[in-house]
Amino acid sequence: MSSILSIENLSKNYGKVLAVDNISLKIEEGICFGLLGPNGAGKTTTIEMMEGILKPTTGRALFRGKPIGPHFHQRVGIQFQSTALQDFITVEETLKLFSALYSTHRDSEEVIEICSLGDILKRDNRKLSGGQRQRLLLALAIVNDPEVVFLDEPTTGLDPQARRNFWSLIEKIKKEGKTVLLTTHYMEEAEILCDEVAIMDQGHIVARDVPKKLLAENFDGVIVKLPWKKNNQLPDGAVQVDDYIEIHSMDIDATLHHLIHHSIHLDGLTIHAPNLEDLFLKLTGSSLRA
């Protein structure tokens, strides 16, 4: 398969701040690619250079192997991290307004169906809930039937149910064969939606691959987690992370015996398979929420 999007040695300086530091990526057509990382990692800066909105300090972004040209905006759809919607008009009017901006657009009934907007078409933009607003913004990103859809933290601030609903909309878009480029700091979201991810930290890409592969390469066994406050000493092999201690265990029985033997309270103990959040901690030494 060919790369639909690629970036080569891309950097961006804002004055003295080096927001993106010499990163390169190739993204295959038809996949959902996740750009992950904590606040300030450089996700928005990177995606906006790929969208042709922000000029790189050095390096370049390519679409189908060529520098971004004048018709690029017809072929991509963008959902910005923060977008102002026009007040005093309805969802239906907003869709019409955006549709009219493009020379090609897809059937509006289809867009309404994909983004589940049927029940709120007559609602004023100001009255939308967070989840409804994100669904409308997604609709606006696909009105022109784009080949690539850029979504910058589309589910931040949504409750867990609304987030799950939004994931199913993204799945629909993926099924249509569109390439989706998504940024998020929810690692669970990336594990569920993304075929490939690049984990960013402080302007660098610290890991890049299929989520399952990254986890298999970096972890064996399971992670045992205990609230830190209840224990005043760190058991052997444990590390403290925020308010917890974590133990990477290949043998749960042995780990639990060891904890009990050292009179450590097990209240609040959890055991989980390693996830991308654990990987981020392993690679950067800091937790995502730090």
Of 6 and 46, CB closest to Mg ion: 46
Q: Which does 185 bind (CB under 5 to 8 A by kind): Mg ion, ligand ATP, none?
A: ligand ATP
Parallel, antiparallel or unpaired: strands 58-63 and 66-67: antiparallel
Q: Which 26-85 residues touch ligand ATP, going by CB under 6 A?
A: 37, 39-45, 81
User: Among residues 99 and 156, whose Cβ is nearest to ligand ATP?
Assistant: 156
Contact range with ligand ATP by CB under 6 A, out of 13-21, 62-70, 132-140, 167-175:
13-21
CB of 15 to ligand ATP, least distance (A): 6
Tokens of 40: 């300030």
Between residues 38 and 274, which has the closer beta carbon with respect to ligand ATP?
38
Taking the least distance from each CB to ligand ATP, the nearer of 147 and 153 is: 153
Binding partner at 133 among ligand ATP, Mg ion, none, C-beta below 5 to 8 Å by kind: none
Site for ligand ATP contains 286 (CB under 6 A): no
Residues 165-224 within binding reach of ligand ATP (CB under 6 A): 185
Does residue 235 interact with ligand ATP by CB under 6 A?
Answer: no
Q: Please, which residue, 42 or 274, has the CB nearer to Mg ion?
A: 42
| Residue 44 near Mg ion by CB under 5 A | yes
Provide, rounded to whole angstroms, the least separation between the CB of residue 230 and ligand ATP. 32
| Size of the chain in residues | 290
- Give least dist CB 207 to ligand ATP, A: 15
Q: Pick one of ligand ATP, Mg ion, none as the site partner of residue 41 (Cβ within 5 to 8 A by kind).
A: ligand ATP
Give the separation between CA 42 and CA 35, rounded to whole angstroms. 9
> Interface with Mg ion includes 79 (CB under 5 A)?
no
CB 22 within 8 A of CB 202: no
> With helix as H, strand as E and coil as C, how does the chain read?
CCEEEEEEEEEEEECCEEEEEEEEEEEECCCEEEEECCCCCCHHHHHHHHCCCCCCCEEEEEECCEECCCCHHHHEEEECCCCCCCCCCEHHHHHHHHHCCCCCCCCHHHHHHHCCCHHHCCCEHHHCCHHHHHHHHHHHHHCCCCCEEEEECCCCCCCHHHHHHHHHHHHHHHHCCCEEEEEECCHHHHHHHCCEEEEEECCEEEEEECHHHHHHHHCCCEEEEEECCCCCCCCCCEEEECCEEEEEECCHHHHHHHHHHCCCCCCCCEEECCCHHHHHHHHHCCCCCC
Instruction: Name the minimum Å distance from CB 81 to Mg ion.
Output: 5
Min CB(183)–ligand ATP separation in Å: 6
Structure tokens at 178: 């569109």
**Could you tell me which stretch among 68-76, 80-88, 165-173, 225-233 binds Mg ion (CB under 5 A)?**
80-88
C-alpha 146/C-alpha 218 separation (Å) is 36
Which residues contribute to the site for ligand ATP (CB under 6 A)?
A: 14, 17, 19, 37, 39-45, 81, 185
Which residues contribute to the site for Mg ion (CB under 5 A)?
A: 43-44, 81
